[in-house]
Structure 1
Amino acid sequence: MLKLKRKSLLPGFLFPAALLLFVAEWLRGAYLVSFLPNYLVQHANWTVALAGIAVSTHYLADSAVKPFAGYLLDRYSTKIVLQVGFLIAAGGFALTLSAGSGWITTIASGLMGIGLSPVWLVGVRHINEENRAAQMGALYAFWMAGLGLGPVILNLVLDGGIAIGVILLLSFVALGGIIASVCRFSIKDFDRIERTSMKAQWKSVRENIKNNRLILPAIILQTTGAGIIVPFLSSFALKRLALTNSELSMIMVLAGACVVLLLVPMGKWYDATKSRWFLVCGFGLFAVSLAGLTAMRSLAGATLMAIVMGFAYAMLLPAWNALLSRHVPAQSPNMGWGVLSSLEGMGVVLGPLIGSWVVAKGSLASPFLLCAGLYGLIGLSYILMPSEVFGSKRSVEWSKA
């Protein structure tokens, strides 16, 4: 029943989108988690708080343009939209290197967010509804591999100097542009999808969210939690846990590998059961591991908590996407995903700002404890949701990809 078939999980039409997603998220993770904090604090003499503001700006811009990016993808060539996006990303990175003030740096970070915004929408529109969670597990594996390997590899490279890091980041910007230009992005029957206005699309999504009011705070809170800890992950590991860059990279590789290896099996399992406990247990384990991390003082303890986080993340991600897809109208799927992604992005924007304030008032451990509390509440919220929310009958039918 849970037998994995490679062609059904990652068919030919999905692979180019998955590969581009890997490159984009590698670039995003390396830029936000490793390069930006390192460059601003050690080379531009700015504070860690500014890094948090720059991260918020990146995700604010990414979230703000996603509905518009979806609108463009529903109406114009995918290649053109992606190519323009990577040109904007390249401009944002160049502006980062030439920035003479903190405000210019935040603008540059925002341009990077705008440029990478369409990539995720291109990926999710290629998913077949029949085995959504399993294929999303495969797509998430590429996403997670890129997002995890980016900071890991760049941390290792930065030990050799900032110039090498700059060259590597520029190489991935160029690679993304090449993939967007030479690969074919298409889905079956896409041309038959009925186009609707952005106003009508938003109204349709809003009506479906009203049918399950608990989903909206869950969307915002879970991304808020992630945003709270991301800007301070490296600083916490290096200062509070006394890890070296190499040790941090090793832990991130182990946790990321755990996620990547388990995403597809977890997705297949969820497709078979549609159980709310994937979300309840996933968020619960994540909360426990984050709280436990603040009590660790050794490499072994930190590694154990990271592996638990990886297991929890693999458990909840495919189930969460399958749940979210039930609120995407069929008339204009790219725009629908753009609207929902913007709601998710609200939390990512708020998170770093909240995290910066919590660090200023408390310690480097404070954001992790706050995030643990939020994720514990989210896990409990899924117990309160009605059973039909997780069933096979959808509130909005999705046109088959």
Structure 2
Amino acid sequence: MLLVIMFIVEFVKGAILVSILPIYMKSVLGITTFLIGWTLALQYIGDNLFRSPIGWLIDKVGYRPVMLGGVIVTLLSVLILVFFRQPYWIMLSCTLLGIGTSPLWPCVITGATNSTGEKATGTTMSVINISWLSGVGMGPVVINFFIGDTYRTAFGILLGLMVLTVVVSLFLPGKGYGSDLKSLVNDYRAEHGSRGSAEGFFTRQARKIRLYMDEVRRSLHVSWVFYPSLFAQTFALGLLTPVLTLYARTILNLTPAQYSLFLVAGGAVTVLFLIPVGKLVDRFGVRWFINIGLVLSSVTLLTFTSVKSVGWVLVLVMLLGVGYALIIPSWNALIASVIPKEKRGAIWGFFLTIEGSGNVLGPILSGKLWDSIGYQAPFLLSGCVLAVLFVLQLFIFVDRKVMVR
């Protein structure tokens, strides 16, 4: 059920962020690319700010109530998009979209790793990423067929999907929601009594979160190289988020159908390679898959804007799909290998917060580069960042003990 929820939420999120908002805000509202980047960044800011405390909350009460709360907030975000059209409402909606989807990855990864244990980590991550990529890829493609002058049909579909997700979340396996939250209620009663101060309770809980996260950081024995690597991987992807659709539609002049074909081609190649790569990662380790994927993706992005033939662009899109199929399961398996079993929720939240900061800064800088320098700049910088990440990986893998001491 967690994978079903991930698929639907990512479908909705991908449709909104990739197919709807960039063109709607640029063509209909006349907003600059820089402001579009900021609007999309608000989604990542909302996501990023809540990931670490969400991880702590998962460890405390379980993933069921956390996931339900997240999908309800995501539903509220879509409701705002349906009924309000002013730019500030769109920005609020994006922020709530980020907050609502922030529990998704910590919940899914925690639930999956709890089920599979330490075995077949690469395969497990591949299955999770197939669900993620299928949603992210199909959302923008499918919703293109329902986008009209008013976007009413498209928003209606997304709203219906989120209502369905809330219903599915109610049937997640595990303890009842009341027993999941029992420990927090007991903390409140024990420390403050039935009429205790709410302010004192939440202050104390905030202190507990800080102490817990300090303990989490002390339990990690990783090289400093590991942390900028976490950031760089998502920063490179974040640079492409606000400009990919604009480049395809305004520079290459692709029709919606052609753009959908490109999305399907790149996504399908990635999905087809994920399971085989995951199994190979489990058998041979992560090193070569990460490094080959980084080199392939970097070279592809550095040459992307120099190619104008639609056929060759399609080839580059497919090569980029192969590159990310090599990176995703091996990278996530590498991260999973350094996480202590007893603190999975909090540490995944902590790591995803670092990765999420790349998703925040990437779109902001990307929009500024597009407006100030040109459409090539975000793609070139993204390729350069992946090249730098390749160098960082070489230092990590000189000796595995350098990373995990």
**Structure 2 Cα separation of the partners of residues 204 and 343 of structure 1:** 17
- 1:127-276 equivalences under 5 Å are 127=113, 128=116, 129-159=118-148, 162-184=151-173, 197-207=208-218, 211-276=222-287
Q: Which structure would you say has the larger Rg?
A: 2
CA distance, structure 1, for counterparts of residue 76 and residue 144 of structure 2: 23
Match of 2:45 in 1: 60
Contact 2:36 2:367 (8 Å CA) reproduced:
no
Q: Secondary structure at the match of 1:332?
A: helix
Structure 1 Cα separation of the partners of residues 324 and 247 of structure 2: 20
Shift of 1:159: 4.9
Q: How many residues align?
A: 372
Structure 1 segment 261-300 matched on structure 2, within 5 A: 261-300=272-311
**Paired letter, 1:175:** L
Tell me the amino acid that sits aligned with residue 164 of structure 1. T
Match for 2:394 among 379, 383, 386? 383
Q: Indicate if the aligned counterparts of 1:230 and 1:352 stay in contact, CA closer than 8 A.
A: yes
- Measured against aligned partners, the alpha-carbon deviations of 1:250-285 in whole angstroms (never above 9, x if no partner) come to 011011111111111101101111141211111111
- Is 2:87 the partner of 1:87? no
> Which structure 2 residue ranges, 5 or more long, are not aligned?
185-204
Distance 1:180 1:321 in 2: 25
Answer yes or no: is the 8 Å Cα contact 1:82–1:177 preserved in 2.
no
- Partners of 2:291 and 2:49 in 1: how far apart? 29
> Which one is further off, 73-82 or 200-209?
200-209
Confirm or deny: 8 A CA contact 1:201 1:329 kept in the other structure.
Answer: no
Once residues 328 and 349 of structure 1 are traced to their aligned partners in structure 2, the CA distance between those partners, rounded to angstroms, is 24
Shift of 1:209: 5.6
- 1:344 paired with 2:344, answer no
Equivalent of 1:374 in 344, 369, 385: 385
**Per-residue deviation at 1:356?**
1.2
1:390, 1:170 → 2: CA distance?
Answer: 49
CA distance change for structure 1 residues 201 and 314 in 2, over 3 Å: closer, same or farther?
A: farther
Q: Shift of residue 387 of structure 1?
A: 4.6
Which of 324, 342, 357 is matched with 2:335 structurally?
324
The CA distance in 2 between the partners of 1:87 and 1:387, in whole Å, is: 45
TM-score (norm 1): 0.86
CA distance in 2, matches of 1:296, 1:185: 52
- Further displaced range: 32-41 or 352-361: 32-41
* 8 A contact 2:81–2:89 mirrored in 1: yes
Q: CA separation of 1:26/1:111 partners in 2, compared to 1, >3 Å: closer, same or farther?
A: same
Give yes or no for contact 1:241–1:296 (8 Å, CA) kept in 2: no
Give the CA RMSD over aligned residues: 2.4
Runs (5+) with no aligned partner, structure 1 = 1-15, 396-401
Distance 1:236 1:209, change over 3 A: farther
| Amino acid of the structure 1 residue aligned with 2:14 | G
Provide the rounded CA distance (Å) in 2 between the counterparts of 1:93 and 1:225. 27
Instruction: Summarize deviations over 1:171-205 as a string: whole Å, max 9, x none.
Output: 2211211221123258xxxx9xxx99533443344
Q: Distance in 2 between matches of 1:63 and 1:45?
A: 28
